[in-house]
Structures are given as structure tokens and as C-alpha cells.
């Protein structure tokens, strides 16, 4: 009997290091971008920004963003 393989879900949120990796921006600029996205989507300070929200705000395709996520 074969053991089913569990697929690990793709991460749903974006962190500062991800923004730096995707955009090439430095830490401070990455933080400002995430804060602008939080404000746009009425999230609290420090609230999570999803891949979809990041993609909608920047215009970068979700699949491309996921390729650059740092584990």
C-alpha cells in the first residue's frame, strides 16, 4: 500500500526579505512598500500582506512573485 505524498502548501504572505528579493529594493524601501500595501487594504500596522495583495498593488504576476519567495 502506497503512502500518499503530502504536498506542502505554498506560503501565502510576503515578508520584507521577499520584497527585497523581488524588487531589488533595500530594507527601508521594502518596509515602506509593505506599509503602503497595508494602508491600501486597510490592514493594521504589522498586519500580514498576502501574495495576491502584493501582486495587485505592484502589478507583478502572482506566479512570478511566488517564484521569488525565500524559504
Residue 5 has pLDDT above 90, yes or no: no
Q: Is 49 within a domain?
A: yes
Query: What is the count of structural domains for the chain?
Result: 1
Q: Is 60 within a domain?
A: yes
Strands (E), the chain: 13-14, 49-50
Where residue 63 falls among pLDDT bands split at 50, 70, 90? very high
Q: Is 6 within a domain?
A: no
Report the pLDDT value the prediction gives residue 1, as an integer from 0 to 100.
Answer: 65
Alpha carbon of 17 to those of 27, 36, 53: distances in Å? 8, 16, 16
Residue 8 has pLDDT above 70, yes or no: no
Residue 9 has pLDDT above 80, yes or no: no
pLDDT digits (tens, 9 = 90+) for 34-62: 999 999 999 999 999 999 999 999 999 99
Amino acid at each position: 500500500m502506497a503512502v500518499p505524498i503530502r504536498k506542502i502548501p505554498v506560503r501565502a504572505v510576503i515578508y520584507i526579505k521577499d520584497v527585497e528579493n523581488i524588487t531589488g529594493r533595500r530594507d527601508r524601501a521594502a518596509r515602506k512598500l509593505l506599509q503602503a500595501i497595508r494602508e491600501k487594504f486597510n490592514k493594521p500596522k504589522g498586519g500580514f500582506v498576502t501574495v495576491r495583495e502584493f501582486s495587485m498593488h505592484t502589478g507583478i504576476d502572482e506566479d512570478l512573485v511566488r517564484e521569488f519567495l525565500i524559504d
